[in-house]
Amino acid sequence: MVFVDEGVAAAWPRLCAQITQYVEHLGDAAVLARTPVIIGGGEDAKNEKTLALVLAELATARLCRQSFVIAVGGGAVLDSVGFAAAIVHRGLRLIRVPTTTLAQGDSAVGVKNGINAFGRKNFIGCFSVPWAVINDGKFLASLSDRDWRSGLAEALKVALLKDIPFFEQLHASALQLMHRDHKLMNTVLRRSAELHLEHIIRSGDPFERSNARPLDLGHWSAHKLESLSRFQLRHGEAVAIGLALDAVLSQLLCGFPEREVLRIISSLIHMSLPVYDTLLEDSKAVIEGLEEFREHLGGQLSITLLKDIAKPVQVSGLRGEVIIHAVRILSEIWLGMSNLSDARPAQALG
Amino acid sequence: MVFVDEGVAAAWPRLCAQITQYVEHLGDAAVLARTPVIIGGGEDAKNEKTLALVLAELATARLCRQSFVIAVGGGAVLDSVGFAAAIVHRGLRLIRVPTTTLAQGDSAVGVKNGINAFGRKNFIGCFSVPWAVINDGKFLASLSDRDWRSGLAEALKVALLKDIPFFEQLHASALQLMHRDHKLMNTVLRRSAELHLEHIIRSGDPFERSNARPLDLGHWSAHKLESLSRFQLRHGEAVAIGLALDAVLSQLLCGFPEREVLRIISSLIHMSLPVYDTLLEDSKAVIEGLEEFREHLGGQLSITLLKDIAKPVQVSGLRGEVIIHAVRILSEIWLGMSNLSDARPAQALG
């Protein structure tokens, strides 16, 4: 059974018919339980209503546990369909076909799914290893510029944590990537996906039982910014701002070189990603985000910062004043650099 | 955070206060997020309303991923609370405190949870390993006779599949167990739990990826009987009938000795468990149950029968006529043996 993101189905109007024809062509080797189901994309896909809809479709189709559920779309659709597939009959077989840069380079190769509930992002979900993930670069052609750029934030993040040459490549080619160099983007997403996957396989904590979130540079504030913006900020955009903030925090707390802070921020600006948002000035809400981040993982609060490129360090006991100080420094850097960007508005939300 | 089965809280009126006092006594080592929450027990616990309630309690209490959720109660409450705990923050830490013979000897030591949805038993759930399981024999004292007996069906099942001396013990002490020999029941449940757990650990398929359900002797019809009876039949009672039916099927299809069929049925009757129900005569519904059983696990239908005691065999291609034939034979055996029982009504539903 196939679920297709509404946006993808609109951009590729023949896709659903092609899927049906392809499976018919396979003869006895595979049967479609029904024609592909189109579901709304974006963060709305991650609410309880969409989950209920997907569950009802799976129930009606009477899929058995060895059936395959194929989800085609952005990260939100993959998360929601993936969670439904994980809990029907205690787990159908999920094949993810991510169609955005963000999902191809990061989330789709991971082992998580989830929906938002009780006002909190990913409050409900589980760890579940997909049967397969198919990254098809062709899908990227139909992305808006905004979605095209979004995946670069996670690529930059994983480069900063693990791979100096990859960071140098991203820094050097930021403008080229922003201007939609397709071949380069495929290379970048492949490396990003590899690094994320390697981490999950080799880190020793694929299901995040410990306090540490070694892949979550820039994410504690990103999650909060997304919900504060009522999901007007894309995940990748929020991560871009979160990376800029964590770069400054790394400088303040871990001796991360100022020169690298500026290179990170200028890379993001060249990628046309936001590095600052006035939402950060609501310090009460931002500090609350830190507690929500702790709650999701549990135990002592610990965030990942950088001593140097590819030298992450776990920092605990982050205080509110330091965050406020870092936000002020970031806003100054951002104002000083704004000539670099194409006169981007003060708020990414416009 | 602690959830207590309504029936358990009623039978042990001081329990919730004792839990609170105990945790207070621990000082800084543990904190109760709130006073124990009482939730309705029985199959109703496994509906979406109860799940929503437990999720809301967990959300309000703002538990973090490293928090412990303790579920005290029968299998249904453990299943529902366990599923909620498994999907909040992608998995809180679950401690099961089973209070029935059925849960202590079987379900609570397993790695499954689930709720009923779309008219199907355990349609939604996941595999999730509990942090700990605490079997406290004291809880059994307050069980009704009917719940006391229910766990014996799963004990008999696992004995038939794996352990000749255990089967001999159950056969020899069936009346004594029915008459509530507490010490003997604890021994029986311990052995049953051990055998179930050993199977999960060593069978090589703890998360049931294959077609085979080697522990599910008697279960394909039991699940259907439960729902046909609108859950008036307890799971253990339905399994007792399912075991009797599968014993006859084993004789018809696998050369299982008739003498053993009769010993199994007389053991069940001595335990005051049902071995037949007129619901079995709705052959269309029963055969439908076979398909639902297949659907849950997927792939080719395969059920577990017996060549001999402790010699299980996978049988595929079970045909409707054979089932109808077996039901008729079982009804005759049951009529012939009804002098053994305390004049049990023709329908367990009475």
Q: pLDDT digits over A275-284, tens only?
A: 999 999 999 9
Statement: residue B347 has pLDDT above 50 = no
CA nearest to A294 within chain B: B64
Statement: residue B318 has pLDDT above 60 = yes
A112 Cβ neighbours under 8 A, 6+ residues apart: A79, A122, A125, A126, A127, A128, B90
CA distance A57 to chain B (A): 11
Contact yes or no for A8/A36 (Cβ under 8 A): no
Residues of B with CB under 8 A from a CB of A: 55-56, 59, 62-67, 86-91, 112, 114, 117-118, 120, 122-128, 207-208, 211, 294-299
Q: What is the CA radius of gyration of chain A?
A: 20
Closest to A215 (Cα-Cα) out of A318, A126, A304:
A304
The residue ranking higher by pLDDT, B260 or A29, is B260
Say what the pTM is: 0.92
ipTM (interface pTM): 0.91
CA distance A113 to chain B (A): 8
Statement: residue B207 has pLDDT above 70 = yes
CA distance A217 to chain B (A): 19
**What SS3 state is found at B229?**
coil
Contact yes or no for A288/A224 (Cβ under 8 A): yes
Mean pLDDT within A295-312: 90
Each residue's pLDDT tens digit, A139-156: 999 999 999 999 999 999
- Residue in the block written with tokens 């008999």: B156
CA distance B290 to chain A (A): 13
Most A CBs within 10 Å: which of B90, B120, B291, as the mutation test of the A interface? Answer: B90
- Return the bridge partners of A37, or none: A3
Report the helix count and the strand count for chain A, using DSSP H and E.
14, 9
| Run of H or E including A117 | strand A115-117
Statement: residue A297 has pLDDT above 80 = no
- Cβ contact B295–A114 (<8 Å): no
- Cβ contact B126–A298 (<8 Å): no
Instruction: Say how far residue B82 (Cα) sits from the centre of its chain.
Output: 15
Instruction: Say how far residue A45 (Cα) sits from the centre of its chain.
Output: 15
- Position A346 scores a pLDDT of 43
Please give the C-alpha separations between residue A114 and each of A127, A167, B37, B254, B301, in angstroms, as whole numbers.
9, 30, 26, 46, 32
**What SS3 state is found at B343?**
coil
- Position A241 scores a pLDDT of 98
Tell me the pLDDT band of A300, cut-offs 50, 70 and 90.
Answer: confident
Which residues of chain A make contact with B63, given a CB cutoff of 8 A?
295
Which of B64, B90, B123 minimises the CB distance to A89?
Answer: B123
The span from the CA of A264 to the CA of A167, in Å, is 9
Mean pLDDT within A177-199: 97
CA distance A61 to chain B (A): 11
A110 Cβ neighbours under 8 A, 6+ residues apart: A196, A197, A200
Statement: residue A330 has pLDDT above 80 = yes
- Cβ contact A55–B87 (<8 Å): no
The residue ranking higher by pLDDT, B345 or A253, is A253
**What SS3 state is found at A157?**
helix
- Average pLDDT along chain A: 93
Statement: residue A337 has pLDDT above 60 = yes
B216 Cβ neighbours under 8 A, 6+ residues apart: B303, B304
Mean pLDDT within B135-152: 97
Mean pLDDT within B13-25: 96
Which of A64, A87, A117 minimises the CB distance to B295?
Answer: A64
A347 Cβ neighbours under 8 A, 6+ residues apart: A277, A278, A279
- Residue in the block written with tokens 């522990």: B215
**What SS3 state is found at A38?**
strand
* Residue A164 CB neighbours (<10 A): 13
Each residue's pLDDT tens digit, B109-134: 999 999 999 988 899 999 999 999 99
At position A143, the amino acid (one-letter code) is L
Each residue's pLDDT tens digit, B276-296: 999 999 999 999 999 888 887
CA nearest to A209 within chain B: B66
